[in-house]
Amino acid sequence: MDHKTISFHKYQGTGNDFILIDNRSLGWKPSQRQIEFLCDRHFGIGADGLMLLSISGGYDFGMTYYNSDGKESTMCGNGGRCITAFAESLGLIDRKANFLAVDGPHEALVLAKDEGEFHIRLKMKETTIGKEYPDGIFLDTGSPHFVVQVDTVMDIDILNAGRELRLDGRFGCDGTNVDFVEKTASGLFVRIYERGVENETLSCGTGVTAAALAIAWTEKSNTGQVEVTTSGGNLLVTFRRDGLSFSEVWLEGAAKHVFAGEMMLDAEKYGPMNYAI
């Protein structure tokens, strides 16, 4: 790899797509402009976010996640499943992973794999209901989410309604992700406005998890599994509840390798490649 070329892999988990880079020997420290360019769907590779897989002492690997706005972000559940599939493909793990992300350690299991298609079960952080408002429930599942239950989720103007709540002063200067949830015969249907992408995404792992836990809280369900449909596919959330707290929270679903390649970075336009010493 020279100073202008980046090798990458593209993965998607229920339509939530990511650029993954094996950073163990590179020590690359991407700039915000470089990440924005790589994630751009017209001029770059195109993705909801970019992840670096790195060495992390005591763990199989470390995960660093950046949103498509180029800023390092909080935990990404679908990203955690995709990076586990990536690690399995690299030979770093054999069906089971123990990795470190920004919100702490995570376990993951590769339940099945076949020619670039994986079925991954990811353990999410233990969490509590943050606050219940008249219009929704706020909680942190590795990333902050405001869960709003609606009658018909397809009737919601996600872009405008999501943006308004994402920047609501109740959620501090960094704002929140927003999840609109409809109860269905089989479980839940969720649409997500994701901060850092500043648009609706086809899926969001921490958002799906937040929606399942928030609805479980309103219905006082102590244990269970919730099937969740997103615009990009289906996920399964399992959990145990004790009052306001949730433990043994797992997110399960598909992760798929889409393609691999190399991308040229114009050093004059986007800055030089910087490496950790």
DSSP for 114-147? ETTEEEEEEEPPPEEEEEEETTEEEEESSSEEEE
User: Are residue 88 and residue 140 in the same domain, yes or no?
Assistant: no
User: Are residue 242 and residue 131 in the same domain, yes or no?
Assistant: yes
Q: Rounded to an integer, what distance in angstroms lies between the CA atom of residue 38 and that of residue 104?
A: 27
User: Are residue 103 and residue 135 in the same domain, yes or no?
Assistant: no
CATH number at residue 187: 3.10.310.10
Q: Evaluate whether residue 277 is within a structural domain.
A: no
Q: Rounded to an integer, what distance in angstroms lies between the CA atom of residue 147 and that of residue 150?
A: 10
pLDDT band for position 128 (50/70/90)?
very high
Find the farthest-apart pair of alpha carbons in the chain and give their distance in angstroms, rounded.
57
**Model pLDDT, residue 2:** 47
Question: Average pLDDT, stretch 31-41?
Answer: 95
Q: Evaluate whether residue 238 is within a structural domain.
A: yes
Q: Rounded to an integer, what distance in angstroms lies between the CA atom of residue 242 and that of residue 66?
A: 33
Are 139 and 128 contacting, i.e. CB atoms less than 8 angstroms apart?
A: yes
- CB under 8 Å to 200, separation ≥6 — which residues? 158, 159, 162, 191, 192, 193, 194, 231
* Number of alpha carbons in the 13 Å side-chain half-sphere of residue 59: 20
Q: Rounded to an integer, what distance in angstroms lies between the CA atom of residue 105 and that of residue 51?
A: 16
- 53-86 confidence digits (pLDDT tens): 999 999 999 999 999 999 999 999 999 999 999 9
Rg of the chain on CA atoms, in Å:
18
Count up the domains in the chain and report the number. 2
For the cut 80, the answer to whether the pLDDT of residue 198 exceeds it is yes
**Model pLDDT, residue 161:** 97
Q: Which has the closest alpha carbon to 77: 243, 173, 201, 165?
A: 201
User: Are residue 212 and residue 113 in the same domain, yes or no?
Assistant: no
User: Are residue 56 and residue 111 in the same domain, yes or no?
Assistant: yes
User: Are residue 155 and residue 247 in the same domain, yes or no?
Assistant: yes
Residues of the domain holding 218? 127-252
User: Are residue 14 and residue 100 in the same domain, yes or no?
Assistant: yes
Are 51 and 45 contacting, i.e. CB atoms less than 8 angstroms apart?
A: no
Q: Evaluate whether residue 12 is within a structural domain.
A: yes
Question: Is this prediction's pTM over 0.75?
Answer: yes
Give me the percent of the chain exceeding a pLDDT of 70: 98
Q: Evaluate whether residue 44 is within a structural domain.
A: yes
Decide: helix, strand or coil at residue 219. helix
User: Are residue 111 and residue 135 in the same domain, yes or no?
Assistant: no
**Model pLDDT, residue 135:** 97
Give me the percent of the chain exceeding a pLDDT of 90: 90
* Catalytically active residues, by annotation: 76, 204
Residue the block writes with tokens 């089971």: 96
Q: Evaluate whether residue 29 is within a structural domain.
A: yes
pLDDT band for position 3 (50/70/90)?
low
For the cut 80, the answer to whether the pLDDT of residue 129 exceeds it is yes
For the cut 70, the answer to whether the pLDDT of residue 277 exceeds it is no
**Model pLDDT, residue 9:** 98
Give, rounded to a whole angstrom, the gap between the first and last alpha carbons of the chain: 17
For the cut 60, the answer to whether the pLDDT of residue 20 exceeds it is yes
Q: Evaluate whether residue 101 is within a structural domain.
A: yes
